[in-house]
Chain A
Amino acid sequence: SYVVTQPPSVSVAPGQTARITCGGNNIGGKSVHWLQQKPGQVPVLVVYDDSDRPSGIPERFSGSNSGNTATLTISTVGAGDEADYYCYVWDSSGDHPCLIFGGGTKLTVL
């Protein structure tokens, strides 16, 4: 089945830009979505369809997707952005479409 790979951790200083990658075979041909999960909370959608933002999500959150890598970019990072981030895609290669999560990336604000 399809595999989606994320780095376990990313660290960035306050005010800098964080980039979290999501790798998969020709993932550029899929729609990639991103969730943010803070400790003790349920996940929240921050980017959908590679690069679109739900209402209420700051413009600091953006995304891109090409080739074998999708990227979530968070600009001007603050302490409130410290969380786990998960990318996910739908995979239709099997008998039935299945949703595949990446392993998650812990964003630490130094």
Chain B
Amino acid sequence: DVQLEQSAGEVRKPGDSLTISCQTTGYIFTTNWITWVRQVPGKGLEWMGRVQPGESYSVYSPAFQGHVTFSSDKSTSTAYLHWSSLKASDTAIYYCARLGDYFDKSGYPYDFDSWGQGTLVTVSS
């Protein structure tokens, strides 16, 4: 079974740095994109971008470009989301999700076939 296990919730102050993780099991880590999705409590889903594990290649949504960094470690099958300087507006639940092996009519993977449980990041002074 494919499983994504995320790190525990974090509380930080504005300006702090933070890295959260998403450890995957049950499949070959380098074969599928890992995406990150933000959800402010009570609000909608926001696609942050994706990382191609093992290739150090990431695509960022324009809304998050320059504010976060994705990375991955093939040796531990883990993806990471990093902030160098948090803002209060970063308070949200962050999900990692695997994009599965099926492609839509345009040739893009569409199936978030496995999700992490979410990591709540709280940024408050």
Q: Could you list which residues of chain A lie within 8 angstroms of chain B, going by C-beta atoms?
A: 1, 30-31, 33, 35, 37, 42-43, 45, 48-49, 54, 84, 86, 88, 90, 92, 94, 96-104
Contacts and interface: CB of A to CB of B under 8 A. Distances in A.
Interface string B46-84: 110110000000010110000000000000000000000
Interface of B: 35, 43-47, 49-50, 59, 61-62, 95, 97, 102, 104-106, 108, 110-112, 115, 117-118
Contacts of B112: 35, 43, 45
B106 A30 contact: yes
B47 A100 contact: yes
A67 B61 CA distance: 25
A45 B62 CA distance: 25
Contact of B45 (A31, A33, A97, A101): A101
A33 B59 contact: no
Given A90-B106, A101-B45, A101-B47, A48 B62 contact: no
A48 B111 contact: yes
Given A43-B45, A101-B45, A104-B45, A31 B105 contact: yes
